[in-house]
Amino acid sequence: MINNIIILGSTGSIGASTLKSISKNKKFKVTALSSNKNIKKLLNQSIKYRVKYAFIEDNRMYINYKSTFKKNKINLFFGVKNIDKILKSKVYLSINAISGISGLEPSLKIIPFSKKILIANKESIICAWEIIKKKLIHHKTEFIPIDSEHFSIWNLIKNENKEKIDKIILTASGGPFLKKKRKQITNINPKIALQHPNWKMGKKISIDSSTMMNKIFEFIEAKKIFNLKKEKLSIFIHPSSFVHAIVFFKGNIIKFLAHNTNMTIPISNALGIFNNNNKNIIHSSLQNLNNLKFIEPNVNQFPLLKIIAMIPEKTTFFETILITINDNLVNKYLNKNINYNSIHMNLLRLIKSPFFLKYYKLKPKNIYDIRKMINETNCYIENKIKNYA
């Protein structure tokens, strides 16, 4: 039986890992791919995987390249928002590998047409898990998280009674500046901050990994997906990133999930593709297991960890405001409008602005509430971002 699959955000790092995972497996047929602007990569991928439908968000690219796609027997559409126009029934699986909060609407659009959905897009889970979950239940769509930590937790607890969970540890590599003092990285060039020691990822998540913001997002993501109280979750630095999550169960049983730092591993396993191990994997894994190290993170080194104390137990607009301020600051840093130090300095100041406090008691009801809050946040902070020395 052929399994049809749709990959949203196929031109990015997770999208490419997904295509790599299925490239030698004849059980999968790619139905549709999507990108934001990268039309050339989208065209190459569509030709290589003999895809019938491709989606691009950039209108100019759509107009300029529609006929090129047509010549290659591919229907190019403007915007993933039109995906429901081509789908007549549910596909076997879809994966959302779009970066940023723009991934939320595509998740909601594709759920009714998917038997199973793999969501890498953490921003949408953090801001709108309740909205996504409602849709998953309504359309009987199975969900598997594929952020490596969350895939690991999902895998470790799927056959367990949740009441037995005592504590879950999310591991963090510590990023490229683990051994540096804060004053050494005040003005660090984005090129250096993007060099993650263990993972090859998109730009945004690489910067978030260096500041530890990614782990705070993953803390919120785990809290929501697995419906946990904050006290059940902790973050530990594990520089080799071999272990992705550790679950402590009542009865003194500890389970952890380990694998090399390659996103094709959680993706392939979520897709049910189990390739044979190569000869060296057991030997190198045992070496890795002999050298496990877990260190409590230091808030002076990673000041953004202070945000954990502010995370509300129940979803409010806090998550949307946090994601939006951080997105804005990371973009400004990548465009060299602010220095590295200014990411955490601005974030810790702005998130406590009296203007936002009233929203931390309110809950978004739908995607329009979230969109409105994103706009309001961006407008409010625009003239308040400083470049710190």
Residue closer to ligand NDP (CB basis): 147 or 319? 147
- Return d(Cα 41, Cα 47) in angstroms, integer: 10
Of 4-12, 142-150, 154-162, 320-328, the window that binds Mg ion (rule: CB under 5 A) is 142-150
- Return d(Cα 274, Cα 382) in angstroms, integer: 48
Tell whether residue 319 is a contact of Mg ion (CB under 5 A).
no
- Return d(Cα 109, Cα 229) in angstroms, integer: 30
Task: Report in angstroms how near the CB of residue 99 gets to ligand NDP at its nearest.
Answer: 4
Residue closer to Mg ion (CB basis): 109 or 122? 122
Of 121-129, 187-195, 278-286, 345-353, the window that binds ligand NDP (rule: CB under 6 A) is 121-129
Tell whether residue 147 is a contact of ligand NDP (CB under 6 A).
yes
Tell whether residue 201 is a contact of ligand NDP (CB under 6 A).
yes
Among 31, 99, 173, 209, binds ligand NDP (CB under 6 A): 99
From the list Mg ion, ligand NDP, none, pick the one residue 126 interacts with, judged by a Cβ distance below 5 to 8 Å according to partner type: none
Among 105, 123, 147, 327, binds Mg ion (CB under 5 A): 147
Question: CB count, 10 Å around CB of 253?
Answer: 11
Task: Report in angstroms how near the CB of residue 302 gets to ligand NDP at its nearest.
Answer: 18
Question: CB count, 10 Å around CB of 85?
Answer: 8
Residue closer to ligand NDP (CB basis): 145 or 364? 145
Triad 311, 240, 300: Cα angle to 5°: 45
Among 23, 25, 27, 37, binds ligand NDP (CB under 6 A): 37
Starting at the edge strand found earlier in the chain, the sheet holding 253-258 runs: 233-237, 165-172, 243-249, 253-258
- For 244, the 3-state DSSP assignment is strand
Q: 109: closest CA among 86, 84, 90, 128?
A: 84
Rg (CA), the chain: 21
Of 36-44, 152-160, 221-229, 338-346, the window that binds ligand NDP (rule: CB under 6 A) is 36-44
